[in-house]
Each structure stands twice: as structure tokens, then as C-alpha cells.
Homo-oligomer: A and B are copies of this chain.
Amino acid sequence: MIKIVLLGAGNVATHLYKGFKNASNIEVVQWYNRSKKAIEAYKNDVNITDNISDLVDADVYLIAVNDDAIEALTNSLPFEKRLVVHTSGSASLYDIDMKHYRGVFYPLQTFSKGVDLDFTTVPICIETLRKKDFKILEILGQSLGCTTYKVNPKQRPALHLAAVFVNNFTNQIYRIAHEITEKHGAEFDILKPLITETARKVQEVSPYMAQTGPAKRNDKKTIKRHLKLLDNPHQEDIYKLMTESIKKTHGR
């Protein structure tokens, strides 16, 4: 049985709490948040606290708070030489106060409190200084049903950056497509199967191989027609830059 104290009560912490609850070899022995309100609803299920000096003994202190708060929070923990890990993709392992055994348990997925999550679709990127700590975090991830990956300090920030591209930037591309369809009285819904297929295709072939369309073909007539259709200069800039990018990649 691995004993965990969970710190933070946002999107990630809340899903992790539920995930650990369902794992047979994990026990969340305590849940801390700076304000009790967010965890009040769980007080019959788990020992909750908003007092940092009340923290109990555990094998892992799992910190899912804002990136900027990691350093101060780990510094204020009233013990040392215990395994303290954060869940951030971009914060450094060294943001954790050096009095602890340090690690990162970064779930590379998008979490929203209100949206159900299937942990089998969550890759966990693990970084530790000590081998035995890696083993513990690996078991933690596997107990949730996740696939775990060992990453190093160079890889994790790159994965986080790449995640911003495939999640936030892709989503903004969807948003612009939504604006275009709305503007011309067409249904965004018609695009949904194509969105699904585009994401599905790169599960099997590389994005390089999957590319098609006017930019790859350098079909100047269509590109010109599209630019004429876009009367919003901002959308035009994105169209031009993405078209250039595709041409570059495919040697046009």
C-alpha cells in the first residue's frame, strides 16, 4: 500500500483523488488545500486539512498547485527527506525545495474538473533523482491505469511545449474554423468528422505522411480564393503562415 498526501484541489488534484480512490494499492491518507472550501465535500471520505503543520506521514506528497506556488509550498512543508513531487509539465524538478527527495509526475493530458476522465488515456511523464523514487511513481501511474514514461529534464519541457501546440493551438484552429462557418451561415457540425479523422490519421502515420491539401500541392488558385474569402486580417495572417509552413515542410 502506497500512502499519499495530496496537496491542491484544482482540476488535476481532484481527478487524481478520484483515480487513487479506485486503485486498490494506493491510499490517500490526507488531502490538503490552502482553503478548505474546495475539499469540504470530501471530509467524510478522507482526512482533510488547510493547515500545513498538520500534515501526516506518507510515502509520497503529491503537489498539484499552480506552477508559481510550487517553490514556496514545498519550502513550507514541515519535514525533509521525504518524496515530494509536482504534476507540472513546465516547472522544474528543482523548483521543489532541496530538503526533499524530489520528483515530477506530469500527466500529459487535459484535465477539467467537470469533465470525466479515463486514466487509460493519460500518459504520465516521470522524472526523479533517485531510482527508487522512480519505481514508486511508476507504480502510482500504473495503479491509475496510465502508461508511464521516464523522461529527463530536457524532454519534459519539450513535451509540454509540444502539448501546447497539439492541444491549445489545434483548438484555436478549430475555433477559427468555427468563426468561418458561422460567418457564412454554415454548420460547424459538418466539420466534426473531419476533425476526428485528422486526429485519428496521425495515430497511425506521421503528420508528415498524412498531409494533403492546397498548400502541400502549392495550388495557387485555391490559396488565392481562400485568402479572398477571409476578410479578417488576423485569420489571413494565420492562413498565410500555416500555408508557408506546410510548403516549407514539403519542399515547395
Contacts and interface: CB of A to CB of B under 8 A. Distances in A.
Interface of A: 67-68, 90, 108-110, 112, 115, 121-123, 125, 149, 151-152, 154-159, 161-178, 180-181, 183-188, 190-203, 206-208, 210-216, 219, 221-222, 225-226, 229-230, 234, 237-239, 241-242, 244-246, 248-249
Within the oligomer, what is the number of copies of this chain?
2
A211 B168 contact: yes
Contact of A191 (B108, B197, B212, B222): B108
A124 B119 CA distance: 35
A3 to B, nearest CB: 28
A151 B208 contact: no
A212 B111 CA distance: 9
Contacts of A176: 165, 245
Contacts of A180: 158, 161-162, 165
Contact of A234 (B173, B192, B193, B248): B248
Shortest Cβ-Cβ A-B pairs, 9 listed: A158-B184, A199-B199, A168-B213, A175-B207, A174-B207, A162-B177, A155-B186, A169-B242, A165-B177
Nearest to A216: B168
Counting chain B CB atoms within 10 Å of each CB, the highest count among A149, A185, A199 belongs to A199
